[in-house]
Copies of this chain bind each other. A is one copy, B any other.
Amino acid sequence: MSSPIKVLLAEDQSMVREALAALLGLEDDIEVVAQVARGDEVQAAVGAHGVDVALLDIEMPGCTGIEAAARVRREFPQVKLVVLTTFGRPGYLRSAMEAGADAFLVKDAPAAQLAAAVRKVLAGERVIDPTLAAAALAEGANPLTDREREILRAAADGSTNAELAAALHLSQGTVRNYLSTAIQKLAVRNRTEAVRMAREKGWL
A residues contacting B by CB (< 8 A) are 12-20, 22-23, 25-26, 84, 86, 105, 107-111, 113-114, 157-158, 160, 188-196
Q: Is the CB of A196 within 8 A of B158?
A: yes
Q: Is the CB of B23 within 8 A of A19?
A: yes
Residues of chain B with a CB closer than 8 A to A157's CB: 192-193, 196
Instruction: Looking at the assembled complex, report how far the CB atom of A15 sits from the nearest CB atom of chain B, in whole angstroms.
Output: 5
Question: Complex Cα distance A114/B14, Å?
Answer: 11
Q: Which of B12, B14, B193 contacts A111 (CB 8 A)?
A: B14
Copies of this chain held together in the complex? 2
Instruction: Looking at the assembled complex, report how far the CB atom of A107 sits from the nearest CB atom of chain B, in whole angstroms.
Output: 4
Q: Is the CB of B158 within 8 A of A18?
A: no
Residues of chain B with a CB closer than 8 A to A158's CB: 188-196
A-B contact pairs, 17 of them (CB 8 A): A14-B111, A15-B84, A15-B107, A15-B108, A15-B113, A16-B20, A18-B110, A19-B23, A19-B111, A22-B22, A22-B111, A158-B189, A158-B190, A158-B191, A158-B192, A158-B194, A158-B196
Residues of chain B with a CB closer than 8 A to A14's CB: 107-111
Residues of chain B with a CB closer than 8 A to A194's CB: 158
In the complex, the chain B residue whose C-beta lies closest to that of A20 is B19
- A-B complex: 9 closest residue pairs judged by Cβ atoms: A158-B192, A18-B111, A158-B193, A19-B19, A22-B23, A13-B107, A19-B23, A22-B22, A13-B108
